Structure 1
Amino acid sequence: MNLRRLKYFVKIVDIGSLTQAADVLHIAQPALSQQLATLEGELKQQLLVRTKRGVTPTEAGNILYAHAQTILRQCEQAHSAVNSAGLALNGQVSVGMAPGTAASLLALPLLQAVRSQHPGILLYLNENFGSELTDQTVNGRMDMAVLYGNKAIPGLSFVPLIKEDLYLVATHAVPHPGNYVELADVAKLNLFLPRTHDVLRKLVDEAMALRRLSAKVIGEIESATTLTAAIASGLGATILPESAARAIVGPANAWMSCISSPTIQAPLSLCLSDHLPLSQPAQAVQKILLALVAENREEVRTLLAVG
């Protein structure tokens, strides 16, 4: 294998068409097909399946695609590091953030600090759900991510940031219990929660199990927009970390109440790959992010408290 063939292969998979990929790469389609055939011959595996609609990767092709992205990314980082030796840092750095997290309060300060300290760094912020962000961080498509959770996941390491209490969120179709609501009362309500693999769902399920309770889940939602609409409709309630709860109560015309007996806390962490080294620009962004969290920890808590 060589880098050129890997680049060709990744581009073909991204576009889903040999013809269109050849146009983008500015090479003849027969030549591109020959490069693909050579790559398949080297690996002794069929990598793509040709259909009337284009091409799709085989199982072996998907595996190579993930590795190729990592290899190409590391080569780009090496090239950038060598070229920028002794010079100002430059290059793209990607930071994922789970929707509605307290870290989103630091997104603008992060952009401002990176722009001020390292104007050559292009910061890419991606707001997505935890499972998607962890997958992208493992395979090297995301440099780092701020999300809920701190339990061991193969290929990842976690740096603790802050902890947030979980809150019940509902409209006035559900009687408002006051500032606090017991978990046993939460278990009686119709709930919209994420799917069972989600960190927040696991926290809720574990707390329920310890009290010999079970959540009455009437819908599994992993879209902030859809969840807001579902809560606003009065069909059910949801459980969210404090920052996410405060973000939804206004648009949904809802109330929020801290869950007690027991209190459930969601750890917010900085997620990193444990096997892919960060580029120099990514290290600089990580340093700024951790400094912002340390400097603004009390400010973040104050912002949460006032809403």
Structure 2
Amino acid sequence: MELRHLRYFLAVADERQFTRAAARLHIQQPPLSQQIQALESEIGFALFTRVARGVELTSAGASFADDARAVLQALDQAVTKGKGIADGRIGSVRIALTSSSAFHPLAPAAIRAFREACPDIAIDLNEINAAEIIERMVSGRVDAAILRKPSDTPEELRFDLLLEESMVLVLPVGHRLLQGRGKSGRIRPIALDALADEAFIFVRRPGARGMYADFIDACEAAGFTPRVATEVPRMLSAINLVAAGTGVTIVPASMQRYQQESVVYCPMDSDEAITAPLHLVTRRDAGNPAAVRFAQTMLEFARARQV
């Protein structure tokens, strides 16, 4: 039995006449009659009875018509769904973000736009550290990610720069370097060599330079190597430790909304300013159209910010 046999049968069932059904199907009446006879022979029961002006469905034919319609409807739905998945309009995408990338307004704005544009794509969103993001992407457990500057860049992954933003120092309230603040409340930029005696809190995998590589290089150019008090997996943890008096850290400027009552965010001297990148990470062999569509949304948002 072929699907066209079901369509031929339903056309006759709807029209109750072979002539009108043939015209609807754009075929001749004799071939249509032959196809219906072949179908009846295959299924083993009569579908129609002859009446004065055409045909009527038998009881078995009426039941068969209901099921045939359901089959064709299910097939149409399957085709529509398949096309939606292939076009990246239906499906699911697993997205991972680091805590600092989640703080930048670009990330939530782009994800919201993607959700509004593609309501039939389910989003599985997780906040994890950069090292774990890379591991999950390599193993195929994450489709796309937004992070700063990874310490590892496997060949199977693609890294697209979305933007750069300034880095700022994070000092606890009352820190000695804040004593020169004027009545206006403005913080004077701090030179790197003033940080030579500070204990730093870095967000990175132990032993890996990660996104702090440029900062470490700048410190060494200023005549000292930063003394690392501790390393933590997330920037929010680093800021909390600064608030507790454990040391100082450096974060992207978009993190300044956090812990404002306990820490002070300070710009660095303009000649020594460090920037923080924001990257979109995808698999080069991306087989998930929904992930490809999400990546396109992120890149479009990033380009719009640069105009």
TM category (shorter chain) comes to 0.5 to 0.7
Write the mapping of 1:141-152 to structure 2, written as runs, cut at 5 A: 141-149=141-149
- In the alignment, what sits opposite 1:70? none
Using the size of structure 1 for normalisation, the TM-score is 0.62
- In the alignment, what sits opposite 2:15? none
Write the mapping of 1:238-257 to structure 2, written as runs, cut at 5 A: 238-244=249-255, 246-250=256-260, 253-257=262-266
Does the 8 Å CA contact 2:110/2:301 hold for their aligned counterparts?
A: yes
Tell me the distance in 1 between the aligned counterparts of 2:252 and 2:234: 15
Tell me the distance in 2 between the aligned counterparts of 1:188 and 1:230: 17
Tell me the distance in 1 between the aligned counterparts of 2:151 and 2:230: 26
- In the alignment, what sits opposite 1:197? 208
- Greater alpha carbon shift after TM alignment, 81-90 vs 208-217: 81-90
* Distance of aligned partners of 1:263 and 1:290 in 2 relative to their CA distance in 1, 3 Å threshold: same
Cα offset for 1:149? 2.0
Write the mapping of 1:153-302 to structure 2, written as runs, cut at 5 A: 153-154=153-154, 155-174=156-175, 175-176=177-178, 178-194=187-203, 195-244=206-255, 246-250=256-260, 253-260=262-269, 261-274=271-284, 276-296=285-305
Tell me the distance in 2 between the aligned counterparts of 1:280 and 1:96: 17
* Distance of aligned partners of 1:147 and 1:212 in 2 relative to their CA distance in 1, 3 Å threshold: same
> Matched residue of 2:268: which SS?
strand
Does the 8 Å CA contact 1:96/1:145 hold for their aligned counterparts?
A: yes
Q: Which runs of 5+ in 1 are unaligned?
A: 1-80, 299-307
CA deviations 1:121-168 (Å, max 9, x no partner) are 001222121111111122221111111127872232211111122211
* Distance of aligned partners of 1:106 and 1:266 in 2 relative to their CA distance in 1, 3 Å threshold: closer
Structure 2 counterpart of 1:216, which letter? R
- Greater alpha carbon shift after TM alignment, 282-291 vs 81-90: 81-90
Identity %: 22
Q: Which has the larger radius of gyration?
A: 2
Tell me the distance in 2 between the aligned counterparts of 1:292 and 1:198: 29
> Matched residue of 1:235: which SS?
coil
Does the 8 Å CA contact 2:101/2:107 hold for their aligned counterparts?
A: no
Does the 8 Å CA contact 1:102/1:243 hold for their aligned counterparts?
A: no
Q: Which runs of 5+ in 2 are unaligned?
A: 1-77, 181-186
> Matched residue of 2:83: which SS?
coil
CA RMSD of aligned residues (A): 2.7
Tell me the distance in 2 between the aligned counterparts of 1:279 and 1:125: 16
Does the 8 Å CA contact 2:95/2:145 hold for their aligned counterparts?
A: yes
Structure 2 counterpart of 1:292, which letter? F
- In the alignment, what sits opposite 1:14? none
- Greater alpha carbon shift after TM alignment, 206-215 vs 262-271: 206-215
- In the alignment, what sits opposite 1:128? 128
